[in-house]
Amino acid sequence: MNSEIPVVILCGGLGTRLSEETQTKPKTMVEIGNKPIIYHLIKIFESYGFKSFFLAAGYKKEILIEYFQKEKFNLKIKVVDTGDDSMTGGRVLRLKNYLQDYKEFILTYGDGLSDINLNQLLKFHYQHNKIVTITAVHPPARFGELEIDNKSNVLKFEEKPQVKTGWINGGFFVLNKKIFNYIDNDKTIFEREPIEKLVKANQISAFKHEGFWKCMDTLRDKNFLNDMWNNGNVPWKK
C-alpha cells in the first residue's frame, strides 16, 4: 500500500537561480496559485494515497517549519534539518535513521511538478527489482514552436514546456534502502558518485514519463506555472 511508503522531498537548496524569490524564503515556499510549490507537490502524492513525508530542509528551514505548524494536513509530515551546506546525497543520508525500517522510499525534488502516475512508477520499480528507479522526462523547451504553411504564414505559435526527444532526470525516484551503502557523507552529491556507481552495477532502471513535467528553476518557470494555474490548465492536479 502507498500509505506505507514514505516520501522524501529535498527542500534544502539555496535556489540561487530564483534569487528574486529565494532571498527571503526557501524555494519550496515560492507560490504557485497562492500556495507554495511544496503544497502542490504533497497533494500529488496524497492523491495516490501516500501519508508519510520527510522534508529534508536546510536553507531558511524555520520558514518551512512554521508553515507546516500552521497549515493543517491530514498526513504525517516531518521537517528535518539536514544541514545548511549538505549536498543532495548528504541530505538523504541524514534521514537514514527515519527510513531504515522501510524497504523502499520515494525521493523527489521540492521544485518539480508532474502528472506522473505514481502507481505505475511503483509497479515498474517492483517489476525491475533494481536499487534505483529514476523517472526520465523530456527536457524543457528553450524556444516556442512555430507552425508555418508553404506561403510562410504562421498558422500556430505554441510555447511548449517540453520537447519530445531526449531524456533527463525528472526526480520521482524509488529507492531501495540499499541506497545508503552508496552515500558517504554530507558532501556526497546524490546524482554523481552514488548514481555513477549504480549505473556501472546495472542497478538503475528508468521509468519513462511522457506526460507533463516542469521544474521551477527560474523566475520564468515560476511565471509559466502561475500562468498555467490562472488559465485553469493544471495537469499536476488530479
Which pLDDT tens digit goes with each residue over 37-64? 999 999 999 999 999 999 999 999 999 9
What 3-state class would DSSP assign to 147?
strand
d(CA 2, CA 7): 10
pLDDT greater than 70 at residue 165:
no
In the chain, the amino acid numbered 29 is M
Provide φ and ψ at 73, rounded to 5°: -115, 145
- pLDDT in the model for residue 157: 72
* Per-residue pLDDT at 148 exceeds 80: no
**Segment 58-84, tens digit of pLDDT:** 999 999 999 999 988 999 999 999 999
How far, in Å, CA of 185 to CA of 188, rounded? 6
pLDDT of residue 85: 93
12-24 confidence digits (pLDDT tens): 988 888 988 899 9
pLDDT score for 163: 66
User: What is the predicted pLDDT for the residue at 143?
Assistant: 63
Q: What is the predicted pLDDT for the residue at 110?
A: 96
- Would you state the pLDDT for residue 21? 86
CA distance 216 to 125: 26
Q: What is the CATH number of domain 2-136+164-230?
A: 3.90.550.10
Inter-residue contact 57 to 81 (CB < 8 Å): yes
In this predicted structure, the answer to whether residue 183 has a pLDDT above a threshold of 80 is yes
Give one word for 25, left, alpha or beta, with left for phi > 0 and alpha for psi -120 to 50.
beta
Task: Report d(CA 107, CA 96) in Å as an integer.
Answer: 13
- Closest listed residue to residue 55, CA positions, set 14, 104, 101, 92: 92
Give me Rg for the CA atoms of the chain.
18
Beta-carbon count within 10 A of 100 CB? 9
Give per-residue pLDDT as tens, 97-118. Answer: 999 899 999 999 999 999 999 9
Structure confidence at residue 221 (pLDDT): 93
Query: With 90 as the cut, is the pLDDT of residue 1 above it?
Result: no
167 has a pLDDT exceeding 80: yes
| Per-residue model confidence (pLDDT) at position 39 | 97
Q: What is the average per-residue pLDDT within 169-173? A: 96
Task: Say yes or no to pLDDT of 152 above 70.
Answer: no
Q: Please give the mean pLDDT across all residues of the chain.
A: 92
Beta bridge partners of 106: 7, 174
